[in-house]
Amino acid sequence: MKNEFIYQIFPQTFCEKDNKNGIGNIKGIISKLNYIKSLGITSIWISPLTKSPFKDSGYDVEDYYEINPVFGDMKDFDLLIKKANDLNLKIIIDIVVNHTSNKHIWFKKALEGDKKYINYYHFKDPVNDGPPTNWKSKMGGSSWEFVPKLNKYYLHLFSKEQPDLNWENEEVRLEILKILNFWKSKGVKGFRFDVCNLYDKPHIFEDDLEGDGRRFYTDGARLENYLKFMNKNSFNNETNFFTVGEISSTTKEKSVNYAKVNNNELDCVFTFLHLKVDYINNNKWTYTKPNLTSYWNTLKEWQLYFQNNDSTLALFMNNHDQPRSISRFGDDKNYWYQSATSIFGFTSLLKGVPFIYQGEEIGMTNMSFNSISDFKDIETLGNSKELLLDHNEETVLKILSSKSRDNARSVMQWDNSLNAGFSNAEKIDLLINKNYKIINVNNQINDESSVFNFYKKLITLRVSDEIFTKGKVEFDDNLDYCYKRIIDNREILVITNWTSKNKPLTLNINNYKIIINNYQNINFKHLLPYQLLVLERF
Ligand code: GLC
pLDDT of the chain, 538 residues: tens digit per residue: 778 999 999 999 999 999 889 999 999 999 999 999 999 999 999 999 999 999 999 999 999 999 999 999 999 999 999 999 999 999 999 999 999 999 999 999 999 999 999 999 999 999 999 999 999 999 999 999 999 999 999 999 999 999 999 999 999 999 999 999 999 999 999 999 999 999 999 999 999 999 999 999 999 999 999 999 999 999 998 889 999 999 988 999 999 999 999 999 999 999 999 999 999 999 999 999 999 999 999 999 999 999 999 999 999 999 999 999 999 999 999 999 999 999 999 999 999 999 999 999 999 999 999 999 999 999 999 999 999 999 999 999 999 999 999 999 999 999 999 999 999 999 999 999 999 999 999 999 999 999 999 999 999 999 999 999 999 999 999 999 999 999 999 999 999 999 999 999 988 888 999 999 999 988 889 999 999 999 999 9
Atom of ligand 1 nearest to the CA of 59: 12
Query: Measured from the CB, is residue 59 less than 6 Å from ligand 1?
Result: yes
**Inter-residue contact 41 to 27 (CB < 8 Å):** no
Residue 194 Cα to ligand 1 middle (Å)? 6
Query: Half-sphere exposure of 538 toward its Cβ, with a 13 Å CA cutoff?
Result: 6
Residue 138 Cα to ligand 1 middle (Å)? 10
What is the per-residue pLDDT for 110? Answer: 98
**Inter-residue contact 489 to 21 (CB < 8 Å):** no
Query: What distance in Å separates the CA atoms of residue 476 and residue 254, rounded to the nearest whole number?
Result: 26
Q: To test the ligand 1 pocket, which listed residue (195, 378, 380) has its Cβ within 8 A of the most ligand atoms?
A: 195
Nearest to 401 by CA among 334, 339, 328, 340: 328
| Phi, psi dihedral angles at 83 (to 5 degrees) | -65, -35
Query: Measured from the CB, is residue 96 less than 6 Å from ligand 1?
Result: yes
**Inter-residue contact 530 to 510 (CB < 8 Å):** no
Atom of ligand 1 nearest to the CA of 56: 10
Residue 137 Cα to ligand 1 middle (Å)? 12
| Parallel/antiparallel/unpaired status of strands 90-95 and 503-504 | unpaired
Query: Measured from the CB, is residue 224 less than 6 Å from ligand 1?
Result: no
**Inter-residue contact 48 to 95 (CB < 8 Å):** no
Cβ count near 497 (within 10 Å): 24
Largest separation between any pair of C-alpha atoms in the chain: 75
Nearest to 272 by CA among 214, 195, 326: 195
Amino acid at residue number 483? Y
Supply the residue whose CA is at minimum distance from atom 5 of ligand 1: 59
| Parallel/antiparallel/unpaired status of strands 90-95 and 43-46 | parallel
| Phi, psi dihedral angles at 512 (to 5 degrees) | -120, 145
Cβ count near 449 (within 10 Å): 9
Atom of ligand 1 nearest to the CA of 96: 12
Give 231-295 as a DSSP string.
IIIIITT-TT-EEEEE--S--HHHHHHHTBTTSSS-SEEE--TTTGGG-BTTBSSS-----HHHH
Long-range contacts of 78-82 (CB under 8 A, 24+ apart): 78/186, 78/187, 79/26, 79/30, 80/26, 80/29, 80/30, 81/186, 81/187, 81/188, 82/187
Query: Measured from the CB, is residue 164 less than 6 Å from ligand 1?
Result: no
Which residues are tagged catalytic? 194, 246
Q: To test the ligand 1 pocket, which listed residue (50, 56, 197, 275) has its Cβ within 8 A of the most ligand atoms?
A: 56
What is the per-residue pLDDT for 245? Answer: 98
Amino acid at residue number 23? I
Query: What distance in Å separates the CA atoms of residue 465 and residue 457, rounded to the nearest whole number?
Result: 12
Q: What H or E segment, with its residue span, contains residue 494?
A: strand 490-496
Q: Which domains does the chain have, with CATH numbers?
A: 6-100+170-459 (3.20.20.80), 105-155 (3.90.400.10), 472-537 (2.60.40.1180)
Query: Measured from the CB, is residue 76 less than 6 Å from ligand 1?
Result: no
Residue 334 Cα to ligand 1 middle (Å)? 33
Query: What distance in Å separates the CA atoms of residue 241 and residue 190, rounded to the nearest whole number?
Result: 5
Query: Measured from the CB, is residue 357 less than 6 Å from ligand 1?
Result: no
Residue 402 Cα to ligand 1 middle (Å)? 18
Cα Rg of the chain, angstroms: 23
Q: To test the ligand 1 pocket, which listed residue (52, 59, 104, 155) has its Cβ within 8 A of the most ligand atoms?
A: 59
* Global pTM value: 0.98
Query: Measured from the CB, is residue 406 less than 6 Å from ligand 1?
Result: no
- Helix, strand or coil, per DSSP, at residue 216: helix
